[in-house]
């Protein structure tokens, strides 16, 4: 088990390094020159060269990459006496802040959004899925499945705009979303996030409902369920203890991956609702060609995805006794 | 020696802003054109500013984007001189701010001396001294702090070698004999130096607060407000600077107790919030331009229309050519485009005649004696027959690079040139790389869109910046992006710049405008207005003509609740 | 890098019990599924619309790129004249605000682009994923390890951020091909994993062994013996990946890196119509419904196909 874990963690570090390198190289060869951009209007070539040297962009790409990677673990001092503490992910040109500070600052929003939406979609999605499975073939099942299909087929921003139009503008039930820190005002935090939560959950709940229904139907037709029933166990116990437990295992995998992806920012939802999360930060970084920010957000997102993968595999072993590590 | 491309840059570049704005006659029925929005100004309350973006720089050394300059200068730092807080033409008048007067020139305008007022203090109560202004001017030379106005580098003697004060070196051509006196020694006479020192470069920065690039996040206040918190891209909170003495300040009213800037919102959401103007949004306003689609909601209703501020931005939007390459190295082909362009379609794309006026010359009306010069006298939709005649039956395939936010304008150009047999392939690029692409002389596209705004109301900040062939650089080129090279024009520019009579110079600029229009290195097509919506409780709102029509933050107030 | 049995290694198609061929059996099952037939009808409808786009716009008389200034209110930010976004005999589905371009023509050409991009991207991912998945599954060892690592790597990329960043910095060229390449490039590991899992399962079936004993060589076993037996799950995956790609194309357009103007795609139309949703709701409802119907149709059809192939029901 420990050997397995060590191997997996080594692989995680390896993947992140490769992603870092790929991202680094791609943005090194792009047409846009951050030095010219930072220099501003009517900048003389000499001054551009000075600015470039100041930003450390005059060095060969491998050297810049080395400095970057070392900086993550050891921190570094940037020009003009700016200390970039461990872990140093570079310094944002546009925001005049270390990228790590920005990431930490924005993480709260993305985590609030992801967790809230996840709770919502798990409750709704699994409930709908299980009910549908247990009432398979009835009118209720069919109605629920049509609803989930519809919901899953709508683009995220479409749902977002409809919610804004009806809930905020016409019915005036909720305020225009504007992120409030949880610690600052929990009620405002929640009421401002309700729409983004629903938007994301609408998509995922539909997917989870369909998935859990299929899993549940399959599990309930397994022989051991028949055995359990034959033993005279109450139907409730059969469904909850035997059926659901087995049916949920594959869902855990998918849930882990989805949550991992969302923790690092739901770009569209954050953009539509103007939420200052990691996805929005990444998007702004791209629009403003702020390469340290693009690199930082990409790495953070990849980190979440890879870690989610790892956690899922570990959790899998706990809930599914058939899985053994080789 | 630069105009404010950034402004136009801002307009063209902001992908998040669906480029609207308009330009229009001052007779427009909106609340622009002089009358501040209604309401009695009272002190107190919280003003909420809603924005789809973050400030590019608040560090006075680096702040060179029109609306951000307005915000910084009116709220956070004071400059030697500044513009009056008045709507319309009166706002273009320069008045003393930290200085007691507009400065005393000597040696024919090569040396300028300013004396500071008494009682000027920073947010911690320490007095503002002349050396702090010198220090900030020096900072604009530092490669660690790029992006700000480069007037000091261009005008000040010894500016070529100097690399900024961060390593301890000082600039000799600025003298501060005592704490109240500052003397600038220039390379050549600059008659308008009183206007030059309105730029944020001439605000004070105390050396003790130096934080390099991170000063951007917490500029130390010399103005009526100080920064309480600044969460970049999310929220900026300003509170009163108790040490600012209104007796020393004739322009800033400083009415609200608190100013909260909410950033990174979606423009359509900002517009809807302000149209509704419910609850706290009564005392809110937009920092970024209202979107075209929202204008369709605002204009039909008198109530919302009265709250729409739309001051002329003072910038000219142009369709530029790469004049070094076929087919646009031929002036005839460029003129043909001039004739073929359907400027009315472009006007619609900018929100219609209320929001944008069709441009018929490079110089905006404010720089040509209040009257627009019409050199070609074309119908608004163009003259297809004349254009075809100029082309002589040729058909052309050309490329046009646009910023992704300018899609509609690009499509309108494409559609109108198709009428005369010019097929345009649009190449939208990310705003982040747009100016790099145009400014790289090896890669300049056949056609592109470019805007220019004067830094202060003078023809000298316009035509020389964009048509003088001696300013062209190989990479990062800006201003003369069409690479227009005409010896006669260069000579004329030198001649006018040497003139001492302001009126004669202004007339000469208008003449030069006509001369360049005939060579047609670019087609001016739009003078836009800046459409901004304010909540029901906002008082004293008007667009300031100098800062491209952005609201004058010196006079804004909110209704008390 | 998973050291455990992943749920993707679904068992291959059960051999048909009756005399009918498996594909015939599947087809019959699909035909009896009303939802699948509905989905199929919509798919056929949009494919026909896409293919006959030039003809349709000839009938209606508007190219998707023609401006019609007479159909919009130039004084009012270019709002379409008339009710329902300017729906009239002249403009069957109304016009775009500002430009006055015909929405019917743009939707019809948009169908072409949206379907083309998503289908081509699926073809790319299926081709790459199948070949590499088969190789990995059949040969195992270091080949498997290498291919699996690449798949892990690609799946760990935050793909949306990366796609946008990549497209926005790429030099100009054919934007449609770029979209296809990038979407296909990030999509193939998903199918690669499924195929690899299937290949491992199939590898030791009797008929493969028989072929091997019969002297068949690697490539021949791979493509002649193994591939036909795993086409069903590939088809299901491909069908379900099309709506995902349509959605991705729309999302990329929404974030500003879609097809190049003045080309129309549904995603781009929706993106542009968003700000008009209140003033001119038809502008965003029309392409929105097209997008919704297509995604729904492919999902219905794909689901039905999966159920038909593996009647026990849903796996991912």
| pLDDT value of position C3 | 34
Query: What HEC string does chain A produce?
Result: CHHHHHHHHHHHHHHHHHHHHHHHHHHHCCCCCHHHHHHCCCCCHHHHHHHHHHCCCCCCHHHHHHHHHHHHHHCEEEHHHEEECCCCCCECCCCCCEHHHHHHHHHHHHHHHHHHHHHHHHHHHHHHHHHHHHCCCCHHHHHHHHHHHHHHHCCHHHHHHHHHHHHHHHCCCCCCCCCCCCCCCHHHHHHHHHHHHHHHHHHHHHHHHHHHHHHHHHHHCCHHHHHHHHCCCCHHHHHHHHHHHHHHHHHHHHHHHHHHHHHCCCHHHHHHHCCCCHHHHHHHHHHCCCHHHHHHHHHHHHHHHHHHHHHHHHHHHHHCCCCCCC
CB within 8 Å: B355 and C77: yes
Of C76, C172, C275, Cβ closest to residue B352 = C76
CB within 8 Å: A97 and B15: no
CB within 8 Å: C1 and A156: no
More confident residue, B139 or A81: B139
How far apart are alpha carbons A81 and C117 in whole angstroms?
A: 50
Report the domain count for chain B.
Answer: 1
Tell me, yes or no, whether A129 and A15 share the same domain.
no
Of A26, A271, A306, Cβ closest to residue C166 = A26
B167 is a domain residue:
yes
State the number of CA atoms in the 13 A half-sphere of A123 facing the CB: 8
Show residues of chain C in contact with B356, CB under 8 Å.
Answer: none
| pLDDT value of position A32 | 66
Report the domain count for chain A.
Answer: 2
Distance from CA of B537 to the nearest CA of C (A): 25
Tell me, yes or no, whether A159 and A233 share the same domain.
yes
CB within 8 Å: B216 and A272: no
A96 is a domain residue:
no
Q: Is B522 in a helix, a strand, or coil?
A: strand
Distance from CA of B334 to the nearest CA of A (A): 25
Tell me, yes or no, whether A274 and A169 share the same domain.
yes
| Per-residue model confidence as pLDDT tens digits over A301-320 | 888 988 888 888 887 777 66
Show residues of chain A in contact with C250, CB under 8 Å.
Answer: 155
B203 is a domain residue:
yes
ipTM, interface predicted TM-score of the complex: 0.80
CB within 8 Å: A282 and C161: yes
Domain that holds residue A18: 2-84
Tell me, yes or no, whether A162 and A285 share the same domain.
yes
- Among A158, A250, A252, A316, pick the best mutation site for testing chain C contact (most C Cβ within 10 A): A158
Of C169, C300, C315, Cβ closest to residue A31 = C169
Chains that touch C (3 or more CB pairs under 8 A): A, B
Show residues of chain A in contact with C160, CB under 8 Å.
Answer: 267
Show residues of chain C in contact with A165, CB under 8 Å.
Answer: 277-278
B463 is a domain residue:
no
- What part of A 257-316 touches B (C-beta under 8 Å)? 271-274, 276, 280-281, 284, 286-289
Asked if A262 is an interface residue toward chain C (Cβ–Cβ < 8 A), one would say no
Distance from CA of B419 to the nearest CA of A (A): 34
Over residues C248-256, the mean pLDDT reads 83
| Per-residue model confidence as pLDDT tens digits over A205-227 | 998 998 888 888 888 888 888 88
A95 is a domain residue:
no
Residue B105, token pair as written in the block: 């020139």
- Among A2, A170, A204, A214, pick the best mutation site for testing chain C contact (most C Cβ within 10 A): A214
Over residues C226-245, the mean pLDDT reads 84
Of the pLDDT bands very low, low, confident and very high (cuts 50, 70, 90), residue C15 is: very low
| pLDDT value of position A289 | 77
Q: Domain map of chain C by residue range?
A: 22-313
Over residues C26-46, the mean pLDDT reads 87
Whether the full predicted model's pTM is greater than 0.90, yes or no, is no
CATH assignment of the domain containing B122:
3.40.190.10
Tell me, yes or no, whether A172 and A140 share the same domain.
yes
A140 is a domain residue:
yes
A253 is a domain residue:
yes
How many A-C residue pairs are in contact by the CB < 8 A criterion?
130
Tell me, yes or no, whether A71 and A165 share the same domain.
no
Cβ pair B47, B256 in contact under 8 A: yes
| Per-residue model confidence as pLDDT tens digits over A30-53 | 656 777 777 766 677 777 888 888
B101 is a domain residue:
yes
Show residues of chain B in contact with C96, CB under 8 Å.
Answer: none
The fold of C22-313 is: MetI-like fold (1.10.3720)
| pLDDT value of position A316 | 74
| pLDDT value of position B40 | 67
Asked if C312 is an interface residue toward chain B (Cβ–Cβ < 8 A), one would say no
Q: Could you say which residues of chain B have pLDDT below 50? A: 1-36
Tell me, yes or no, whether A193 and A228 share the same domain.
yes
| Per-residue model confidence as pLDDT tens digits over A289-304 | 788 888 899 889 888 9
CB within 8 Å: B432 and A287: yes
Of A45, A271, A288, Cβ closest to residue B475 = A45
Domain that holds residue B100: 54-262
CB within 8 Å: A286 and C168: yes
Give the DSSP letter of residue B93.
-
Distance from CA of C91 to the nearest CA of B (A): 19
CB within 8 Å: A54 and B233: no
| Per-residue model confidence as pLDDT tens digits over C56-114 | 988 888 888 888 888 888 777 788 888 888 888 888 898 998 888 999 999 999 999 99
B108 is a domain residue:
yes
Chains that touch A (3 or more CB pairs under 8 A): B, C
A97 is a domain residue:
no
| pLDDT value of position B104 | 94
More confident residue, C168 or B9: C168
Chains that touch B (3 or more CB pairs under 8 A): A, C
More confident residue, B518 or A182: B518
B369 is a domain residue:
no
Tell me, yes or no, whether A70 and A126 share the same domain.
no
Tell me, yes or no, whether A15 and A159 share the same domain.
no
A75 is a domain residue:
yes
| pLDDT value of position C232 | 81
Q: Which helix (H) or strand (E) holds B260?
A: strand B258-262
| pLDDT value of position C61 | 86
CB within 8 Å: C158 and A218: no
CATH assignment of the domain containing A306:
1.10.3720.10
Q: How far is CA C276 from CA A39, B17, B297, B355, B480, in A?
A: 37, 14, 9, 18, 37
Tell me, yes or no, whether A147 and A79 share the same domain.
no
More confident residue, A322 or A273: A273
Give the DSSP letter of residue B118.
T
Size (chain C), residues:
316
Tell me, yes or no, whether A134 and A236 share the same domain.
yes
- Among B20, B296, B355, B427, pick the best mutation site for testing chain C contact (most C Cβ within 10 A): B296
Say if residue A87 is preceded by a cis peptide, omega within 30 of 0.
Answer: yes
How far apart are alpha carbons A307 and A9 in whole angstroms?
A: 9
Average pLDDT of chain A is: 83
Distance from CA of B463 to the nearest CA of C (A): 31
CB within 8 Å: C172 and B427: yes
- Among B428, B445, B449, pick the best mutation site for testing chain C contact (most C Cβ within 10 A): B428
Distance from CA of B351 to the nearest CA of C (A): 4
Tell me, yes or no, whether A74 and A183 share the same domain.
no
CB within 8 Å: B414 and C262: yes
Of A38, A50, A276, Cβ closest to residue B233 = A276
Distance from CA of A154 to the nearest CA of B (A): 21
Asked if B400 is an interface residue toward chain C (Cβ–Cβ < 8 A), one would say no
CB within 8 Å: B268 and C66: no
């Amino acid at each position: 088990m420990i050997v397995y874990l060590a191997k997996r963690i080594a692989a995680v570090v390896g993947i992140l390094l490769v992603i870092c390198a790929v991202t680094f190289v791609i943005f090194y060869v792009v047409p846009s020159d951050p030095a010219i951009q930072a220099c501003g209007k009517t900048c003389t070539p000499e001054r551009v060269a000075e600015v470039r040297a100041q930003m450390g962009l005059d060095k060969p790409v491998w050297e810049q990459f080395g400095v970057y990677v070392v900086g993550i673990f050891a921190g570094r001092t940037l020009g003009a006496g700016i200390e970039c503490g461990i872990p140093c992910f570079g310094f944002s040109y546009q925001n005049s802040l270390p990228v790590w500070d920005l990431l930490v600052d924005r993480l709260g929003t993305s985590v609030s959004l992801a967790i809230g939406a996840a709770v919502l979609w798990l409750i709704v999605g699994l409930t709908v899925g299980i009910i549908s499975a247990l009432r398979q073939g009835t009118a209720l099942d069919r109605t629920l499945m049509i609803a989930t299909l519809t919901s899953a087929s709508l683009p995220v921003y479409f749902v977002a705009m409809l919610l804004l139009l009806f809930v905020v503008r016409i019915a005036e039930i909720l305020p225009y979303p504007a992120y409030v820190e949880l610690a600052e005002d929990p009620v405002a935090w929640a009421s401002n996030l309700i729409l983004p939560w629903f938007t994301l959950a609408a998509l995922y709940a539909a997917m989870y409902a369909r998935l859990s229904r299929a899993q549940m139907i399959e599990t309930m037709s397994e022989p051991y369920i028949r055995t359990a029933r034959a033993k005279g166990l109450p139907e409730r116990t059969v469904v909850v203890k035997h059926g659901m437990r087995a049916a949920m295992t594959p869902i855990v995998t998918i849930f882990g991956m989805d949550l991992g992806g969302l923790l690092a920012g739901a770009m569209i939802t954050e953009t539509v609702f103007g939420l200052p999360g990691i996805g929005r930060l990444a998007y702004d970084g791209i629009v403003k060609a702020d390469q340290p920010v693009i690199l930082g957000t990409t790495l953070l997102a990849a980190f979440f995805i890879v870690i989610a993968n790892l956690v899922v595999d570990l959790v899998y072993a706990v809930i599914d006794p058939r899985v053994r590590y080789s | 020696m630069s105009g404010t491309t950034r402004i136009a840059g801002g307009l063209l570049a902001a992908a998040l802003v669906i480029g609207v704005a308009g330009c229009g006659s001052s007779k427009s029925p909106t609340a622009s054109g002089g009358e501040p929005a209604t309401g009695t100004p009272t002190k107190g309350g919280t003003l909420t500013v809603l924005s789809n973006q973050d400030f590019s720089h608040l560090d006075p050394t680096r702040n060179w984007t029109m609306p951000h300059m307005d915000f910084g200068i009116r709220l956070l730092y004071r400059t030697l001189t500044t513009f009056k807080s008045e709507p319309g033409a009166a706002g273009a008048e320069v008045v003393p701010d930290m200085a007691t007067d507009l400065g005393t020139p000597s040696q024919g305008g090569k040396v300028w001396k300013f004396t500071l007022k008494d009682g000027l203090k920073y947010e911690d109560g320490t007095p503002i001294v002349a050396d702090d202004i010198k220090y900030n001017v020096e900072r604009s030379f530092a490669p660690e702090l790029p992006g700000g106005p480069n007037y000091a580098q261009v005008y000040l003697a010894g500016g070529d070698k100097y690399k900024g004060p961060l390593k301890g070196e000082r600039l000799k051509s600025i003298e501060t004999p005592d704490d109240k006196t500052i003397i600038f020694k220039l390379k050549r006479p600059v008659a308008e130096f009183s206007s030059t020192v309105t730029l944020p470069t001439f605000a004070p920065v105390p050396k003790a607060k130096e934080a390099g690039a991170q000063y951007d996040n917490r500029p130390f206040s010399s103005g009526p407000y100080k920064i309480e918190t600044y969460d970049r891209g999310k929220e900026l909170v300003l509170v009163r600077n108790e040490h600012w003495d209104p007796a020393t300040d004739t322009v800033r009213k400083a009415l609200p107790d608190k100013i909260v800037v909410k950033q990174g919102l979606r423009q359509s959401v900002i517009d809807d919030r302000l149209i509704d103007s419910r609850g706290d949004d009564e005392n809110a306003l937009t920092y970024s331009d209202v979107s075209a689609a929202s204008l369709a909601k605002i204009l039909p209703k008198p109530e919302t229309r009265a709250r729409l501020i739309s001051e002329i931005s003072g910038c000219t939007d142009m369709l530029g050519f790469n004049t070094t390459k076929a087919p646009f190295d031929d002036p005839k082909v460029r003129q043909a485009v001039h004739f073929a362009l359907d400027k009315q379609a472009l006007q619609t794309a900018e929100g219609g005649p209320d929001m944008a006026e069709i441009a018929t010359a490079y110089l905006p009306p404010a720089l040509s004696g209040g009257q627009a010069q019409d050199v070609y006298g074309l119908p608004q939709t163009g003259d297809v027959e004349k254009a075809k005649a100029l082309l002589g039956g040729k058909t052309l395939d050309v490329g046009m690079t646009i910023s992704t936010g300018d899609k509609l304008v690009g499509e309108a150009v494409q559609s109108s040139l198709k009428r005369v047999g010019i097929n345009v392939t649009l190449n939208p690029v990310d705003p982040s790389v747009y100016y790099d692409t145009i400014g790289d002389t090896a890669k300049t596209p056949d056609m592109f869109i470019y805007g220019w705004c004067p830094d202060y109301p003078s023809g000298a900040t316009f035509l020389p910046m964009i048509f003088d062939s001696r300013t062209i650089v190989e990479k990062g080129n800006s201003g003369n992006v069409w690479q227009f090279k005409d010896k006669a024009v260069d000579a004329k520019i030198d001649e006018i710049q040497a003139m001492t009579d302001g009126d004669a110079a202004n007339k000469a600029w208008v003449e030069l405008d006509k001369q360049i229009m005939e060579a047609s290195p670019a087609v001016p097509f739009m003078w836009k207005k800046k459409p901004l919506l304010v909540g029901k409780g906002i008082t004293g709102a008007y667009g300031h003509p100098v800062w491209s029509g952005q609201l004058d933050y010196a006079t804004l107030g909110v209704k008390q609740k | 890098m998973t050291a455990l049995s992943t749920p993707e290694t679904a068992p291959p198609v059960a051999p048909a019990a009756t005399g009918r061929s498996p594909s015939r059996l599947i087809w019959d099952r699909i035909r009896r599924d009303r939802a699948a037939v509905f989905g199929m009808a919509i798919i056929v409808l949009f494919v026909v619309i896409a293919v006959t786009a030039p003809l349709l716009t000839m009938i209606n008389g508007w190219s998707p790129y023609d401006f019609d200034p007479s159909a919009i209110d130039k004084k009012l930010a270019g709002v379409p004249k008339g009710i329902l976004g300017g729906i009239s005999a002249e403009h069957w589905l109304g016009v775009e605000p500002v430009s006055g371009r015909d929405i019917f023509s743009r939707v019809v050409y948009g169908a072409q682009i949206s379907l083309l991009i998503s289908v081509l991207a699926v073809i790319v991912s299926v081709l790459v994923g199948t070949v590499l998945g088969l190789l990995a599954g059949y040969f195992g060892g270091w080949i498997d390890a290498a291919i699996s690592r690449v798949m892990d790597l690609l799946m760990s990329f935050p793909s949306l951020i990366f796609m946008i960043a990549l497209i926005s910095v790429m030099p100009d060229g054919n934007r449609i091909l770029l979209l296809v390449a990038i979407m296909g490039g990030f999509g193939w590991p998903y199918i690669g994993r499924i195929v690899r899992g299937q290949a491992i399962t199939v590898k030791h079936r009797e008929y493969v062994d028989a072929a091997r004993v019969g002297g068949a060589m690697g490539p021949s076993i791979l493509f002649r013996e193994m591939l036909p037996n795993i086409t069903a799950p590939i088809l299901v995956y491909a069908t379900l990946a099309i709506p995902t790609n349509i959605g991705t194309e729309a999302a990329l357009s929404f974030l500003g890196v879609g097809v190049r103007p003045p080309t129309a795609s549904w995603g781009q139309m929706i993106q542009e119509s968003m700000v008009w949703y209140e003033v001119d709701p038809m502008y965003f409802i029309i392409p929105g419904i097209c997008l919704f119907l297509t995604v729904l149709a492919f999902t219905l059809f794909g689901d039905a196909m999966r159920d038909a192939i593996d009647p026990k029901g849903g796996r991912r």
